[in-house]
Amino acid sequence: MRILVAGGSGVLGTRVVNRLVRAGHEVCATTRRADREPLVTASGAKPVVMDALVADDVTRAVEVSAPDVIIHELTDLASLDFAGNARLRVEGTANLAAAAAAHGVEHLVAQSIAWVYEPGEGPAEETAPLARTADGAAAFPSVEALEEAVLGLRNGVVLRYGLLYGPDTWYAPDGDAYRRAAEGEVVATTAWTSFVHVDDAAEATVDALTWPAGVVNVVDDAPAHVEEWGPRLVAFAGGSVRSISARAEGRTASNARARSLGWTPRHPSWRDSWLEEFGA
Ligand SMILES: NC(=O)c1ccc[n+]([C@@H]2O[C@H](COP(=O)([O-])OP(=O)(O)OC[C@H]3O[C@@H](n4cnc5c(N)ncnc54)[C@H](OP(=O)(O)O)[C@@H]3O)[C@@H](O)[C@H]2O)c1
C-alpha cells in the first residue's frame, strides 16, 4: 500500500515507519523540520515537510503522497506542551481528515489515549463511558474531537494507546517521568493505569491497517494502580519515595478487542518488562 505517516519522525512514528517499510509498503512520513528529512529517509520513508496546523501544508502532503491510507501519529508531547498537543489533536486532525476526504482517502488510523474512561469497575471495553468533569463536560475534549474527526471517515480507526514505556519514552532512563522518579516523585495522569510497550504499540498500529472501522484499546494485560507501579519506578530510578499522586482516578482499559483482532503484545505485562527495560 501507499501510506502517509503523519508524525513519522517521532518516537512512535519512526517505529511504525520501520515496520511498514519492512513489510514492503511505500511510505511517506512527515516532519515539520527540513533538518529531519535525512532521519526520515534513513527510516526508509520519503520525507514530506508539513505543519499539521497549516491546512494548505496538509493538503499538499496528501497530494504528493497520494496514499491509500493515512496513519496519524502527530503529538506535541516531546516538550510536554499539553496545550499545544490539545490544539494539534483538534486542528491537526481536522486538517488531516479534511484533506483525506478531499482526496478520496477514507482510511485513517489515528493515535488516541486509553485513560479517557469514566471511573468504573474493572478494565473498560471501548464502549464504556468517557470521563466527564463535575459539570458534565468532556474531561478530554481534544481527544473526543480527534476521535470524532477520525470516525467521521468511512474507515476511521482510533487506537487508544496505554501509557507508553520503553526506549525513548517518558519512562526510559533519560525520560521525564523517570527523572522525576529519581527524585522520589511520581505524578500519574490517572491513578488506574494501563501501560503498553512502545514497540507493541507500533506493532498494533501496523496490524490495524486490516482492522475494521472503530475504536480499539491498545494496552498490555496488566492494569495497575499508581500505588503499585509508582514506588517500583522510583526504586528502579534509584530514588526514595517522596510523593506518589495522580491527577484523577481514571480507569484501566481492556485489550480483549485488540487481541480478538489478532494483536498479541510481546510485552504482556509491564511488571516483567520493566525488569528488562531498567536492567534491575
Ligand atoms: N500514550 C502515551 O503515553 C504517549 C503518547 C504519545 C507520546 N508520549 C510521550 O511523548 C514523548 C514524545 O513522543 P512522540 O512520538 O509522541 O513525540 P515526538 O517524538 O515528538 O513525535 C511527534 C511527531 O509529531 C510531529 N509533530 C508535532 N507537532 C506537529 C505539527 N504541528 N505539525 C506536524 N507534525 C507535528 C513531530 O514532527 P517533527 O519532526 O516536526 O517534530 C513528530 O513526527 C515520548 O517520550 C512518549 O513517552 C506518550
Taking only the tens place, the pLDDT of each residue in 173-189 is: 999 999 999 999 999 99
- pLDDT recorded at residue 87: 95
- For 158, the grid coordinates are 482510533
Predicted local confidence at residue 277, as pLDDT: 83
Model pLDDT, residue 222:
98
Is the CB of residue 76 below 6 angstroms from any atom belonging to ligand 1? yes
If one residue of 70, 73, 77 were mutated to test the ligand 1 pocket, choosing by the most ligand atoms within 8 A of its CB, it would be: 77
- Ligand 1 centroid to 134 CA: how many Å? 30
Nearest residue (by CA) to ligand 1, atom 39, is: 31
Residue with the smallest CA separation from ligand 1 atom 11 is 78
Question: Nine-digit cell at 74?
Answer: 502527530
CA of 210 to the centre of ligand 1 (A): 24
What is the pLDDT at residue 81?
80
| φ and ψ at residue 40, rounded to 5 degrees | -65, -45
Counting as low any pLDDT under 70, the low residues of the chain are 279-280
pLDDT value of residue 167: 94
CATH of 2-162+197-219+253-265, one of 3.40.50.720, 3.40.605.10, 3.40.50.2300, 3.30.420.10: 3.40.50.720
Task: For residue range 32-85, list pLDDT tens digits in order.
Answer: 999 999 999 999 999 999 999 999 999 999 999 999 999 999 998 877 788 989
Task: Pull the grid cell for residue 67.
Answer: 496514499
29 CA distance to ligand 1 middle (Å): 13
Where are the domains positioned within the chain? 2-162+197-219+253-265
Position 267, amino acid? H
Dist. CA 221 → ligand 1 center (Å): 25
Is the C-beta atom of 3 inside 6 A of ligand 1? no
**Cα of 240 from ligand 1 centre, angstroms:** 30
